[in-house]
Structure 1
Amino acid sequence: MWQQVIVALIVVAALVHFCTKYLPAALRKQIVYLLSRRGFDQNKLAKLFNTKSSCGDGCSSCGSCETTPAASSDASSSAPLKRVIMLRVQR
């Protein structure tokens, strides 16, 4: 009996770890939203799932309502940032 309880706890812990680390951000935000509607603390869930709390409710704390990105707010940099991955071929 105790072995089954311990195995169940380990499986639940592994599932929570998988959900908090490897799920896409959109799914994590939906999970936080659904669990917060069920009565769980939204701030703690957002911290656990590595998302920002109250995203999408219009409070502008998550930055989803902003029309201009923060990187283009500088007047000197009007072009978007380009990231180049340098590859070194070994033959």
Structure 2
Amino acid sequence: MLQELIVALIVVVALLQVCRRYLPATLRQRIVYALARKGFDQERMAKLFKTQSSCGDGCGSCGSCETKTAADAPQDTKAVRRVITLHVQR
């Protein structure tokens, strides 16, 4: 019985590690928000999932819900290119 509990605890910790490392940030934020709605501490869950605690709850502190007006839009309309560096090992 004790061995099964220890194995279950190890599996839960491994799942948490995979979630916080490999899930996209938006999905981690949704998980934190869902757990906060179920009664868990949002600050603590945000630390566990390495995300901001205020995203998804509509508080307006992160600015992601705000719409940009024409005055706030950047003057330069060129697309920004991101370069992904590949390291080839031969």
Q: If the length of structure 2 is used for normalisation, what is the TM-score? A: 0.68
**Structure 1 residues 66, 8: CA separation in 2 closer, same or farther (over 3 Å shift)?**
same
RMSD: 2.9
Show the 5 A alignment for 1:1-91.
1-68=1-68, 78=76, 79-85=78-84
Residues 6-42 of structure 1 deviation map (CA, whole Å, 9 limit, x = unaligned) = 2111111101111222122222122111110111111
Q: If the length of structure 1 is used for normalisation, what is the TM-score? A: 0.68
Aligned residue-pair number: 85
Q: Comparing both chains, which one has the higher relative contact order based on Cα–Cα distances under 8 Å and sequence gaps of 6 or more?
A: 2
**Structure 1 residues 15, 87: CA separation in 2 closer, same or farther (over 3 Å shift)?**
closer
Whole-angstrom distance in 2 between the partners of 1:11 and 1:52: 25
Structure 2 segments unaligned to the other structure (5+ residues): none
Q: Is the 8 A contact 2:28 2:49 kept in 1?
A: yes
Structure 1 segments unaligned to the other structure (5+ residues): none
**Structure 1 residues 38, 4: CA separation in 2 closer, same or farther (over 3 Å shift)?**
same
Whole-angstrom distance in 2 between the partners of 1:12 and 1:50: 17
